Structure formats: C-alpha cells, structure tokens
Chain A
Amino acid sequence: MTYIKPLFRHPKLPKNKIGYTLKEYEGALSTLCAGCGHDSISAAIVQACYDLSIEPHRVAKISGIGCSSKTPAYFLGNSHGFNSVHGRMPSVATGANLANKDLVYFGVSGDGDTASIGMGQFVHAIRRNLNMVYLVMNNGCYGLTKGQDSATADKGSKSKAGSINPFLPVDLASMAVELGATFVAQSFSGDKGQLVPLIKAAIHHTGFAFINVISPCVTFNNNVGSTKSYDYVRGHLGVTSLMDLVMEKEPIAVDYEQGTVARVALHDGTELELSKLANDWDPKNRISAMNAIERARENEQVLTGLLYLNTDYGDLHGILDTNDTPLNHMDESTLCPGKAKLEDINKGLQ
C-alpha cells in the first residue's frame, strides 16, 4: 500500500492568482476505503480553495469524530486543523471564530457526528448564525463501526447485510432551513461540477453555510436497495438550479429564457448566478424552499443545489457587535484594560 504520495506533479499544472498549484492545497494520502465519497468531497474542497486563491494559512478545518472527521487530514495540509470530540465541532468552531474572525472556517462532520451525538451543538450553531462552512459528509451509516444504520438512513433503505431500516430519517437540510440557517445546500459527492461552486459560494457567504453532501459508503452502503448508493443517488437526482459564483459585478452575458436566471448578491459583493431555476422555487423564500424539499421527497428525489439563502440576517459577530479587530490581534493591555477602567465602568452603572 502506498503511504506517501509521489512528489512529482504535472509540469504544466496551472497556478492560481497567488501562484499556487493544487499541490499546495492537498493533504496527506487518504486512508479511507478506496472509492469513498468523502475523498471526492475533500478533492472538491481543495479545488474550491485553489479556485478562490485562498491562502492556505487563512483556513481552519475543524472536525468531530468519524470517517468524515478524518478527512481534514487529507486536504489543505498547509492549513490549521483541530480534530475535536465527537459531535463537539461546533463549540470548538465557535470559540475559534470568536477569537479570530478573519479565517475561513471549515467544519467537517458526518451524519452520526451531526444528526446523533452532535445534534444539540448543530442546532445552536445555526441559531447563532456562526460564520462558517458546515459540511456534512452524509453516507447514512456508521462506516467506522461496520455500517450500522445512522439517523439519516431513509426508512426502507436496505443495508449491506440485508436488513431494512424501520425508522424515519432526520432530514438535515430541511431541518437547517426550518431552524433559520442562512445558507442551505445539498449535493452529491459524485458531482463536483455542482459541489465545487456550492463550496465556493458557502465560503463567500457571511453566516452559517450548511452543505449536506450525500457521500456513498462504498464498503457498507453501496448495495442494491440502499438509498445512499452511487447508483441510487444518480438515478434520483433532482436539481434546483445550476449555480456559479460571480466574483465581479458584470451584466448577464447570456440570454436565458424569461425567469430562468437570477442573481443574488452576497454580503461581500460577489454574486451567485442561478440558471435554469426549478419553476416555482425562489432561493430567498423559505416557504418556497421548504415546498421544493417536500415535493422532491414525495417524488423520491434527492434534491441538490442551493436550497435556501438569506443575506439579510447578520452573523454572530454582527449580532454581538464585536470589535472590528479580531480578539487574537489585540494586545494584553487592550484585552485587559486594568482596575482603573473597571472602576470607571462600575461607576457608570451606579
């Protein structure tokens, strides 16, 4: 087995705006099973960060426990990382984000880490609109402990051993919309054409950006009868829209049919261009988003693409009106102004 990736790269590998090739965004060689959907998602994250010319040291990857949470070792090897406790990734991300709001935060989690043990943390991170990308690598099973059904496994889905799941699934995407997450998207690990622009948009979104990625477990959940297999997902894909991130404002060049193109501005001035919209779906309307998800469920479709976007509600720092300078950039005398200042404050309260 190969443990170290060969050092040679294609001599004509292109460079991004800051002079880096994809190599500078790669991580160690994956030890996940061959063909794991998670590795494709890692590659999509590498591609998105390369495309956006993000300096690797400006990214922090935080994860919990599980196959999904191992992946930060396999991408962005030159970035900060914190492999935390099972289901506690949102707390660590919140702390890090409060201390230094200047970094791009990637929270990587799985269906067990989010929909079971970490559910309490997940919902509160949404509620606070923490500025981060929260990515769930969702394979509907516990791959690390031999493939038991997870909380996101669909009712009626068949396991590799042949048993049928009798329980209703937790639908993370509709739950995130319901809780008021400001960016909700769903995708499939086998569709990088869709996933990479979604990750890029999520990075540019100020606030909690949730992406639920169906990521087949080749070892335990890629059998006939499973609703999280490559074949099933490919056969049941529904798409809300094709999306691209537009970095600079420019007039729409292509003439789409009336009503088939929409542009949505993000906080930082970039725009999302959505084309071929599903007819009666409006990404900025929560009711419309919920309807689209429900309709897809009824049609046994896995709805992918951007589902819901809210650019009006501020992120945690905005809500708390924190200082423009990140806390970790302040010196001790600013952070701890001393007894005299405390007495001043106390006087003002008397």
Chain B
Amino acid sequence: MIPIRVLVPSGVLGLGFDLEALNNGVKNNPHIISIDGGSTDSGPYSLGSGTSKYSRAAIKAEWKSLMIARKKANVPLVIGSCGTCGTNGMVDWMENITIELAEELNQNIKIAKLYCQQEKNFIKKNFQLRRIFPLTPAPMLNDQLIEEMTNIVALAGAEQIQECINTEAEIILAGRTTDTAIISALPLMKGANPGSSWHGAKVVECGALCSTNPTSGVVMVEFDKTGFTVEPMSKNAFCTSETVAAHMLYENADPYILHEPGGYMDVTYSNYYNIDKKKVRVEGAKWYPSKQYSVKLEGAKIAGYQSSLLVLLRDKNYVENVKKWTDKLSKFLKKEINERMDIDTSEYSLEFRHIGLNSTLGELEKNIRSPVEVGVLCLITSKNKISTEIAKLINPFLLHFPLSYNEELPTFAFPFSPVHSDRGCVYEFALNHILELDNPMDAFQIKISEV
C-alpha cells in the first residue's frame, strides 16, 4: 500500500487553527482532511436541545477555510458529529452552511450526509429484542425513559464513514461519529495496520494537543502497514515521544484500551520514538475485532426548567454564618412555597451554593476558611415551567431574610435586575448503552446532494 496521510486541522471545528499551518498541511499532499464537529464534553444541553455549542458565525468562518483547503488539495473533507451533538437537524444545519459557502466560493460540490439519529420506536424494539446493553455505569433503561428522551443518536464508526467515502462525495457531513473514526476510516480501507490506524486516530483526534503547541491545531498523520507517523504542521509545534504517548491518557478512563464500533484497540505494547525534532513514529498497537458488531448510543432527556438567583453577602456576621442562614432560609421558603403556591417539595428542587466557600467541590472541599464575602447562588429546578414563579417568590426573602428574630431587617446585595435568571429547559444524559447491529448501516442512512 501507499502511505495514507490524514490532515487534521484541529480538535474540533469552532476552536480555531493556525492558517499557515493549514496551508503547510495542504502542501504536504494529504489524502483526506478530517475534523471533528462535536462531543458530549460540554454536557447534555447540546444533545438534549439538538443545537450547536459554537456560534454559526465561528463555524462558518472556519469551514470556509477548510472548504478552500479541500479544493486546493483536491481530496475529500470529512466532518464528524456535526453541530456538537450530531443529530439529523445539525447535519442539515451544516449542509446549509456548506451550501452558502459553496455559492460564495463558486464551488460545485457533491455532499454525502450521514444521519445517525435514532427513532424511539427503533430503540424500543431493539430494547425488547435484548439488543441494547448497558455500559458501566448506566441509567436504568425502560420504555418510559426512551419515550422521555428528546434526542437519541448512535455513534458511527469507520464502516459508516467508509460508506460515505465510497460515494466519492467531496464533502462528508456526518452526524454523531466517534472522534477517531473520521481519521481511521480511509487508512483502514487502504490496508493500513488496523491497530495503528485506530491508535494514530486517537493520538490526533484533539489536533495539536499531542504536540508541544496545542493551540496551533493542525497535525498530519501518515499511516502504513506497520504503524503511523505524526507531525504538527505549525513551525512552532513539535511532537515528542512523550507528548504523543501522553495523549492516550487524556479523557480516557483506560490508558491502554479504546473501544470502537466493531472491536477494541490495545496500545499496551506500543513503541514511540522521535524520527526527528518534529515527527514521532509509533508502532505496536493491536486491534481486536468483536464477534458482534455494536455501536454506542447517546441520549438526553429534559431534567426540568431552571431559574437562578444570586445574592452577595458582605456583612461579617452573615458571611461567617452563611450555611446556617441558607439552611434556615431554605426551610422557611419550602413552607412558603407550599402555603402560597400549593407546590409540594417533590415537584421542584431548591439548592443553595456558597460561592467563596465550597461551591466548586461541595462536600469534598477540605479547605474552608471564612472569606470577605460570599455569593449565594440559589438554583430552582422544577418539573414544569413554574421555576420562574418560585424564583419570584424567593426574591424578597433572599434580599432581607434575618438570621435572628430580634434584629433590624438586613438588606443584601443583588447584582442584577431582574434578580432571577431563567435558564429555561435543562437536560440530563439518559443513555450509556450499546446497540448490536447485524449490518453496520442498519442504524444509519446516507443522503447525497450536489451544489
């Protein structure tokens, strides 16, 4: 086989990359340009709401640079996990941006869209057929939980991306995909070492994070029959055997094993060595195909509607007794909410966090000292949209609630008007499961369009 070069502009579209480094990458003749478009890294909101974490303007500006680079290199451009969460709506959103840019740049392009979103009935059917299995730890799955989810996606692997490459599309817009599959797909197709194809993909999935200069973004990885070689494209970035090996630790619960659709990779016996100042060569990863093909599922459901209030305490007595104050206030408020609004505590949650004491680590904090001031963050999450009304009921008490009965009415600091902020609908992850498939395309669809 000829060595296959994959150009990775950055860890995710929207994070930015060094344009000069991108141009260097194009000059080094890549066979494909692959970039990730999403992750669950920012929490359940993106998947729950089916929206992008990054602004459309940022995505469009970066995608423009990549569409120009693709045209110059005359190779396919692949993005996985479109619009952060990789729902069908976000694949179409990305197509929309692509069409606008194709017109602006006067490019004629064939686009392949990979849809990864799952119908609730399809998931229910497979759950009944016992083809869905929990990973550790996983929420307890049942039909009701499936019904409550706003979006469910399956993570595509190399097989589905390869189907897209086979359509000879110039641009591939994939829904939710594993970070690595957009990179490993082509080398695997062309006969590169399977363990090294996945290992190399894992090393560069965060762009130049595997180098000495993470913000430069752009890296090239070359795959062959025995291993891979990785090289950052910025003048000011270098890969060392240590920066490359250390990346297997990052965001990975297990530093040796990585599960992917269709099997797992083991890097226990990998060797890393510097070819020169910039390039690192890696060999020795093994790929173990599984008997049964499966893909991972992600899903999110509505956790409730949330409102927040922030009050600042500067009075020494209140700062020193803030925990006592909020305990007393919480008890008082629950009674008021019940009496005035006829809402039981089972219908909402009320939480106080003490900013300046232990709001970051909570009960784990070991180093609690009395600060000059404390911010009290009050969070209300309700099953229906009543959280705003509860916040308004809380408002005057948060401003004036006294520690003891025989003292003058205190007044604390409200930094905002309105005092409450509606955070709207909030979500929670509801799936950590895998789905067995007879054929990798059984849960995925490809659509082709031309602009």
A binds B: no
B residues lining the A interface (CB < 8 Å): none
A residues lining the B interface (CB < 8 Å): none
